[in-house]
Structure 1
């Protein structure tokens, strides 16, 4: 079967760190162009818009969008209208209605839409889901703390409207827990802390509910020193622990299971499989929880922030 001719839309830090190496390592894809207003992929044609890309790229099959979520709906809609399969970096869009509209457009056009959640592809996530499947959950704790200056240097958009703030990394934790828990997860309350000179939260505390159990999540974008991406799930059979963003699993009475970081290679393998099968994978549950937190939140203003 011929390789899928793919264009990268948005060639920023996440694209260079994760997407491009994953694409290069997958012979089911042939990266043929990029769309970016500031640069592009060296050695390949670079275009400013999807329309310019489509007009100059006969035989193009798919695009992968790694732009900021604000404005991504229009890009994805243009790609779908051109008959292209679309993979969306997380968060897939700025609102639930935008994702719903893209799913409807993809269905009408007969193309694949993939809302990718990279943390779900971490090595410990699927084994965690399997272990929890027949357990009764009695508690949940999420601690997701990282340094915005280290992981998003100078990226002003992330604290602007539609940028998600601390929920940009926090949604990774929500994508994991919605994948592994045997019962539905709900937000019962939230406190969002937003710098006085910004529009999106830099820290958040969530009160959670799972079945008949309570849980909590702490998200912090100002963590210095060691970074923390940890999930603990209490059950009637002991406590499951996921560390390092889901890559290391600890089960009661068992030796910890370290795993290789192959999140983005896993996503592109999944994208290729979906295209081959003529299917889409659109999961909005993590985004729903962020929206619920925003609706239920108590807001606090904190000190101004600068990169």
Structure 2
């Protein structure tokens, strides 16, 4: 297959920390252009202030990776799909479920590949955990996803705005893992969302869920944790306890454990290349649907203002 000429749209922290190194290490892609109105770009790579400018004057491209905040992603993705380009959507794939549904239709109409890139599903322990759980009775699940927003999202005001998800921006990573490793769909039962008095998105959340067989799942999210960070999923089964920690990188099973190197974003791009080669899309909205259900049905409480 010919090398895929890729443009990265949005050059914030996630693009620079993860996307650009993964692209540089993948022979199937070449970074053909970058787009950002607020960033000088990458040395030696054509850079544009807008996607329209890239289309008007830039080099030919085959695909785009959208790393912008979710609130502005739909119009950019739709413009790319309408030109027959393949599109990778950083998580969450859109600000609403309706946006993602419209993009699926646009991708089908254009014959382009559309990929909702749930990067945490590619953590080293996720697929082994899924395989181990498939043969066991699951009794209960507990998710603790607590981190320091000032460390991971410094000065990112978009995350506190409508559509920015607040603490669900990292929390949706946990949901992307559990919807992959558990054998049955999850349903929201209750949610308590803690909104800072000066913000439009929650800083913490407690979710009560169950799968379609009634297995209880509880979730604890918080953006206010300092010191060691917590990204843990504990699954109690009839054969003992499975623990995924470090965001899915470390898997502990009864009597054994494994920890592999970070491979999430390189695996994302390998899969994106495979989708393009096969003329397929990979779109899953299950994690986003659960977040939407929490906003729809959750109880809201006001907590102290947050100042970055």
TM-score normalised by the chain length of structure 2: 0.98
CA distance in 2, matches of 1:113, 1:48: 24
**Paired residue total:** 306
Residue in 2 that maps onto 1:222: 224
Contact 1:247 1:261 in 2 (8 A): yes
DSSP 3-state at the match of 1:70: helix
* Alpha-carbon shift at residue 142 of structure 1 (Å): 0.1
Contact 2:33 2:59 in 1 (8 A): no
Residues 125-164 of structure 1: matches in 2 within 5 Å? 125-164=126-165
* Alpha-carbon shift at residue 259 of structure 1 (Å): 1.3
Residue in 2 that maps onto 1:295: 296
Contact 1:134 1:182 in 2 (8 A): no
CA distance in 2, matches of 1:78, 1:183: 35
Matched, 1:262 2:263: yes
Quick check: 192-201 or 129-138, which moved more? 129-138
**CA deviations over 1:2-61 (Å, ceiling 9, x no partner):** 210000000011000000000000010010111100112222111122222122235310
Residue in 2 that maps onto 1:18: 18
Residues 89-238 of structure 1: matches in 2 within 5 Å? 89-210=90-211, 211-238=213-240
CA distance in 2, matches of 1:306, 1:7: 34
**CA deviations over 1:117-152 (Å, ceiling 9, x no partner):** 000000000000000112111100000000000000
Contact 2:4 2:63 in 1 (8 A): yes
CA distance in 2, matches of 1:30, 1:214: 45
Matched, 1:242 2:217: no
DSSP 3-state at the match of 1:71: helix
CA distance in 1, matches of 2:2, 2:185: 41
Contact 1:123 1:260 in 2 (8 A): yes
Q: Which runs of 4+ in 1 moved over 6 A?
A: none
Quick check: 215-224 or 204-213, which moved more? 204-213
* Alpha-carbon shift at residue 237 of structure 1 (Å): 1.3
Matched, 1:43 2:44: yes
Which 5+ residue runs of structure 1 have no aligned equivalent? none
Contact 1:126 1:180 in 2 (8 A): yes
Which 5+ residue runs of structure 2 have no aligned equivalent? none
Query: RMSD in angstroms over aligned alpha carbons?
Result: 0.9
CA distance in 2, matches of 1:277, 1:98: 24
Contact 2:46 2:58 in 1 (8 A): no
CA distance in 1, matches of 2:195, 2:222: 11
CA distance in 2, matches of 1:279, 1:302: 45
* Alpha-carbon shift at residue 214 of structure 1 (Å): 1.2
CA distance in 2, matches of 1:161, 1:139: 32
CA distance in 2, matches of 1:117, 1:212: 26
